[in-house]
Amino acid sequence: MKIGELSRATATKVTTIRFYEEIGLLDRPVRTESNRRTYALRDVDRLNFVRNGRRLGFSIEEIRSLIALASEPGRDCGEAMAIASRHLAAVEERLGQLAALRDELAAMSRNCDRQRIADCRVIQAIARPVA
């Protein structure tokens, strides 16, 4: 298939496909005599793997590691589980940060009496030095 077909099959922009090729997450495609990229079903599978990994928030390096692990189907999955566990811990930490941010924004919004900007609690809270 051509790059446009791969793009449609995976709902991925052509520029993203080229980027993933450039950084090695996708193999360099076979070229036709006219130098057009051609892709196979394994490329659809790989691109879906990369996109799903990115959707789940895995970094490019984590995905690179998971791809390497996936290429050895007989291997123990402990290393993949370790990657997922570290990622989960990072997600939980980020959720805690987001909850604190939500609470701070809610407090700012509640404390603003919507009068003059000179007296606005939102502006004052944002202008306050970070502790």
**Structural domain that includes position 64:** 1-75
Instruction: Report pLDDT digits (tens) over 7-40.
Output: 999 999 999 999 999 999 999 998 988 989 999 9
Amino acid, single-letter form, for residue 128: R
Helices of type H across 23-59: 41-55
38 and 61 co-located in one domain: yes
The pTM score is 0.78
54 and 91 co-located in one domain: no
Structure tokens at 28: 């360099």
Instruction: Report pLDDT digits (tens) over 59-110.
Output: 999 999 999 999 999 999 999 999 999 999 999 999 999 999 999 888 877 7
**Boundary of a domain, candidates 75, 97, 116:** 75
Tokens 């070229």 found at? 31
- 50 exposure class (CB count in 10 Å sphere: 0-12, 13-18, 19+): buried
Q: Could you tell me if 14 and 3 are in contact, meaning their C-beta atoms sit under 8 angstroms apart?
A: yes
Looking at the structure of the chain, the number of domains it has is 2
Q: Could you tell me if 27 and 64 are in contact, meaning their C-beta atoms sit under 8 angstroms apart?
A: no
Tokens 């609470």 found at? 103
